[in-house]
């Protein structure tokens, strides 16, 4: 694909994302570059931290990838160019236990609630799935009962790593973040009645000198040709 901005320059697009999309973005960025697109360097950190850094406006990012609600806030505050947001992937929250452990029944909402009540330690993230789980536990009326058993992973720390080391017995996180972790067993996605699905988007960071290149990158990442990579990383096209 012809690239007007790269014909006489040697820049790399600088991006930041949450950990949930780290693997899929790496694969899509490599595919983009293989077909002649601009080099892309994406730093993946905790979503809360990524949003804070973009909001601060002290670093020269070109593109940001975060959950749709966080992206909307950044656009509202003027840190993401209005109208530049592109929905890229839908990521589902899944449940996992340490490798070798008995897999709990999570086939229904009632079964999942019983599994949570039975778990000695429960782990979830600071990201969108963690926020949604807190609300779910409150709706179930068990939030206070299980509070002493909750382990919330620090930003940027995969819940899967806490499961693998046995720090938690039942962990919740985006499936895309669990499928590459050794030492755990994925039980499956949440039952449909309480499914927690997150749409992740990309957008042009205000002040980027390479906005046109970012828009081309996002169009590529949202194209049907990127669908296979998304499914390979445990996600679905948005």
How many Cβ atoms from other residues are within 10 Å of residue 188's Cβ? 13
198 alpha-carbon distance from chain centroid: 8
Given this model, what pLDDT does residue 10 score?
Answer: 67
Q: Which segments in the chain show pLDDT lower than 70?
A: 1-10
Helices in the chain by DSSP H: which ranges?
Answer: 22-34, 47-56, 68-76, 109-118, 128-140, 143-146, 159-164, 175-178, 211-221, 227-232
How many Cβ atoms from other residues are within 10 Å of residue 80's Cβ? 27
State the pTM of this model.
Answer: 0.85
Rounded Cα distance, 182 and 135, in Å: 29
Given this model, what pLDDT does residue 4 score?
Answer: 43
Q: What is the pLDDT of residues 163-179, one digit of tens each?
A: 999 999 999 999 998 99
Q: What mean pLDDT is reported for the chain?
A: 93
Rounded Cα distance, 167 and 158, in Å: 12
Rounded Cα distance, 115 and 107, in Å: 10
Rounded Cα distance, 58 and 47, in Å: 17
Residues 152/155/159/162 CA torsion (nearest 10 deg) = -80
Q: Which two tokens stand for residue 82?
A: 């209005």
Given this model, what pLDDT does residue 129 score?
Answer: 87
Given this model, what pLDDT does residue 6 score?
Answer: 40
The percent of residues in the chain predicted with pLDDT above 90, rounded, is: 87
């Amino acid at each position: 694909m012809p690239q007007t901005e790269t014909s006489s320059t040697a820049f790399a697009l600088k991006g930041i994302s949450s950990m949930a999309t780290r693997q899929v973005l790496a694969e899509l960025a490599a595919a983009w570059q293989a077909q002649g697109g601009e080099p892309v360097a994406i730093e993946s950190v905790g979503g809360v931290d990524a949003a804070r850094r973009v909001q601060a406006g002290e670093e020269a990012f070109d593109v940001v990838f975060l959950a749709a609600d966080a992206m909307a806030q950044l656009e509202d505050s003027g840190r993401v160019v209005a109208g530049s947001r592109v929905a890229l992937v839908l990521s589902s929250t899944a449940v996992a236990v340490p490798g070798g452990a008995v897999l709990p029944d999570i086939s229904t909402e009632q079964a999942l609630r019983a599994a949570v009540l039975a778990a000695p330690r429960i782990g979830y993230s600071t990201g969108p799935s963690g926020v949604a789980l807190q609300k779910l536990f409150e709706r179930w009326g068990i939030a206070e009962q299980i509070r002493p058993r909750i382990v919330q992973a620090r930003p940027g720390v995969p819940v899967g790593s806490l499961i693998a080391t046995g720090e938690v017995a039942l962990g919740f996180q985006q499936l895309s973040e669990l499928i590459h972790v050794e030492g755990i067993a994925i039980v499956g996605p949440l039952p449909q009645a309480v499914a927690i699905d997150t749409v992740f988007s990309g957008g042009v960071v205000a002040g980027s000198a390479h906005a046109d290149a970012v828009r081309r990158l996002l169009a590529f990442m949202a194209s049907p040709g990127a669908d296979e990579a998304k499914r390979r990383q445990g996600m679905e096209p948005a």
